[in-house]
Amino acid sequence: MHSLQKPAVELMVMYAQYHRDRRNILTHLVGIPLIVLSVGLLLARPIWPVAGMGLTLAWLLWAAAALWYLTRGSALLGAATVGAMAVLMGLAHAWAGHLEATGSAWAPWMAGVAVFVVGWVFQFVGHYFEGRKPAFADDLVGLLVGPMFVVAEVLMMLGALGAMRQTIEMQAGPQR
């Protein structure tokens, strides 16, 4: 089965194999949201008026990703990931509008590049702690799984997804 078609639990196990060091997971809790936010900033312009709303490439990408997350077989994880990414996209669009109004048309793009770089610095520091390359180096689907993994980690910290946590720890090993 191609990894794009795998259910959430299999994707989480696959991704978790590259993320067992707690310091790496903590850097991902910062780095991945920053990267998602940066993508929103980079794709928040131009805005096309559609049915009284503003459509952007960022919202189109979010919609495609949302469809994928919601079809991975975990309703809670899919919905939480879609919601978290919607918040980040909304923040990115608001920030882009503010930057554009107070700076130049290039300001959202420059901020997006800066946030993107900072997000990836967090990622690579985490993988330095892990002593292992990022998951996307072996499978580009890891770029989609990353946000879902971060949301899963937060949900697990809150006591949800217990069966998924158990499967991850049995197949990928405990965090260290």
Measured CA distances, 123 to 129, 137, 151, 168 (Å): 10, 13, 16, 21
Q: Are 82 and 70 in contact (CB under 8 A)?
A: yes
- Looking at the domain assignment, is residue 1 inside a domain? no
Q: What is the pLDDT of residue 132?
A: 80
- Per-residue pLDDT averaged across 9-33, rounded? 92
Q: Which residue has the higher pLDDT, 116 or 175?
A: 116
Does residue 106 fall inside a structural domain?
yes
pLDDT by residue (tens digit) across 96-139?
A: 999 989 878 889 999 999 999 999 999 999 989 888 877 777 76
Residues ≥6 apart with Cβ < 8 Å to 94: none
Domains identified in the chain, total number = 1
Please give the backbone phi and psi of residue 26, each rounded to the nearest 5 degrees, phi first: -65, -40
- In the prediction, which pLDDT does 1 show? 61
- What's the CA gap between 73 and 159, in Å, rounded? 19
The range of the structural domain enclosing residue 153 comes to 18-172
- Rounded to an integer, the average pLDDT of 45-50 is 90
Closest CA to 132 of 14, 17, 10: 17
Higher pLDDT, 118 or 172: 118
In DSSP terms, which residues pair with 55 in a beta bridge? 48
On whether residue 2 sits in a domain, the answer given is no
Residue 58 is assigned to a structural domain of this protein: yes
Secondary structure (3-state) at 6: coil
Q: What is the pTM of this model?
A: 0.92
pLDDT at 138: 73
Does any domain span residue 136?
yes
The predicted-structure confidence for 139-153, as pLDDT tens digits, reads as follows 678 889 999 999 999
Residue 3 lies in a domain: no
Residue 6 counted as domain residue? no
- In-domain check, residue 7: no
pLDDT value of position 166? 95
Name the band, by pLDDT with cuts 50, 70 and 90, for residue 44: very high
The mean pLDDT value of the chain amounts to: 92
Query: How confident is the model over 19-35, as a mean pLDDT?
Result: 94
